[in-house]
Every structure is written in structure tokens, then in C-alpha cells.
Amino acid sequence: MRFIDELCPPALLYALFLAIQLGLDAADFAWVTFAWKFAFGGATVFILDMLCRLNLGIVSWFIMAVPFIVTALATSIAMGLQFDRIATKAVYETFIA
């Protein structure tokens, strides 16, 4: 497919992640979610590719990397503060047999 061959690396990587997410949504029969992700994901791939074509590849990589960096930082902070232990002390689950 010529369109995929011409995508810049950040747009191609995002398209790969999008394809995986769309596959998971299709497997779960989540068609509304599939449609929204397809529309917004396609627009995002287009924007990332346009940024690369305008010699703004650094901006494109930044937009691509920010969600992963923020998720990694949030996970590290939560693990460092032992947020899971604090949360499980506040939540009590009882099972009635």
C-alpha cells in the first residue's frame, strides 16, 4: 500500500498502535468505539504526517511520545508513593456466600 509506505516514522508508529486498538475493539464487537477511534486516529495520522512534510518532524515525535512519557511518569509516581497500598486500605470488599 503506497499510502503506508509514504508515512513518516511517527505517523507510521501511531498507525500501528491504532491498528492494534482497532483490532481489539473489533474483537470485542465495540463498533461505536471502533468508529470513533478510526475517525480520530485517521485524523491524527494525517496530522502527524503533515507535520513531517512541513519539516516539523520533532513536533510530530513530541506529539507521539507525550502520552507514553506521561503514562510512565504517572505509573512511576504511583508506585513510588505506594498508592496501591494506600488505596487498598481504604477499600473493603466483602463477599457474601
pLDDT < 70: residue spans in the chain: 1, 86-93, 97
Contact call for residues 21 and 41 (beta carbons, < 8 A): yes
- Domains of the chain: total: 1
For residue 13, being part of any structural domain is answered with yes
Predicted local distance difference test score (pLDDT) of residue 82: 77
For residue 25, being part of any structural domain is answered with yes
> pTM of the prediction?
0.73
For residue 95, being part of any structural domain is answered with no
Region of 29 please: left (phi>0), alpha (psi -120 to 50) or beta.
Answer: left
For residue 11, being part of any structural domain is answered with yes
Predicted local distance difference test score (pLDDT) of residue 90: 64
For residue 44, being part of any structural domain is answered with yes
Domain housing 31: 2-90
